Amino acid sequence: MLYRRLGRTDLRVSELGFGAARGYDQDDFPALVHAILDAGINFIDTATGYGDSELALGRALQGHDEILVETKYCPYDSYRTDATYEGSPEALVASAEESLRRLRRDHLDVLLGHGMRTRETLDRFMADGCYEAMVRLRDQGKVRFIGISELSEADGTHEVLQRAVPTGAFDVVMLTLNFLLQTAAESVLPLCRKHDVGAVVMMPLNQPSKDSGLVSVPAALECIRRHVAAGNLPAEPPWTEPNLLDFLQPYSIPAAGLRYVLSHEVSTCCVGMRSPARLQENLQVLDPPYLDPERKARLESLFGGIRSQER
């Protein structure tokens, strides 16, 4: 496992992180977590809104205080793109305290404001006491570093993060980057480098499901078909051809997706893993330079113009 610097936090984080949004309800989850740790992964992402993920991690990570855990407070009433903002400093502090209890820890390594979807609600978060509450938690030692995550379904060009990163207010941001939504590579990542902000990648496989996303050739082609239907890609060859992604072989679609992300200057790439077999497959991508220039350029030529996310 290789490790990268998480911006000005100076934490060294495994370049492959574990996204614990799913799979925590499986009986073998503790064994999976231990296999992940044995592989050298030291960065785990969760959230209060991910069901009982925090509780399951709290049990599985007992005795592993060295593992870095990132969790989140969501200031909206749901994860919908049109959700109502209802953030408050009191709710943020209560959420952080509950995360500490569920995770069985005396501090959170990274606390994010979750799913910021518009500049207007980012401004409210900064002005209504929520940001100051995060700073107080950091000053009290209950949180080590603070940041925000975006909601890329609502903000495919990362307008929120483009405003937030230069302020110097945040140590870490969590952003979407994958080969079907490449916009962060030219908009946010240069700002993160300039302002020394840690860049944690989510959704490297887009919005993965058995039907769509970067989990298999059929699912990836279905996601591309949806982009064509939405007008994000031309309704013509090569985008409509069944062999469109053959150039990625011998890599599988998930392997090519992770290799694409890791070829950028990001801090860590968080991916969900539900089995030791999937973990082993993901570990095979960890060989710099990850993706050769020809395949990377072809992905950028085909999909670099996409400006919104499709499930």
What would the mean pLDDT of 98-102 be, rounded to a whole number? 98
The pLDDT of residue 194: 98
Read off the pLDDT of each residue in 121-125 and give the average, rounded to a whole number. 97
- Looking at residue 249, the DSSP 8-state letter turns out to be T
- Model pTM? 0.97
Spatial CA neighbour of 44 closest among 113, 117, 108? 108
Asked if residue 308 lies in contact with residue 81, where contact means CB atoms within 8 angstroms, the answer is no
Would residue 23 be called left, alpha or beta, if left means φ above 0 and alpha means ψ between -120 and 50 degrees? Answer: left
pLDDT 10s digits, 225-268: 999 999 999 999 999 999 999 999 999 999 999 999 999 999 99
Per-residue pLDDT at 270 exceeds 90: yes
Q: Return the minimum-mean-pLDDT range out of 5-19, 56-70, 204-218.
A: 204-218
Residue where the block lists tokens 């990268």 = 4
Q: What is the pLDDT of residues 4-38, one digit of tens each?
A: 999 999 999 999 999 999 989 888 999 999 999 99
What is the arithmetic mean of pLDDT over 210-221?
94
pLDDT at 47 (0 to 100): 97
- Structural domains in the chain plus CATH codes: 3-206+266-289 (3.20.20.100)
Residue 209 has pLDDT above 90, yes or no: no
Q: Which tokens hold the place of 113? A: 């404001």
10 burial (CB, 10 Å; 0-12 / 13-18 / 19+) is exposed
pLDDT band for position 207 (cuts 50, 70, 90): confident
Residue 104 CB burial class (10 angstroms; 0-12, 13-18, ≥19):
middle
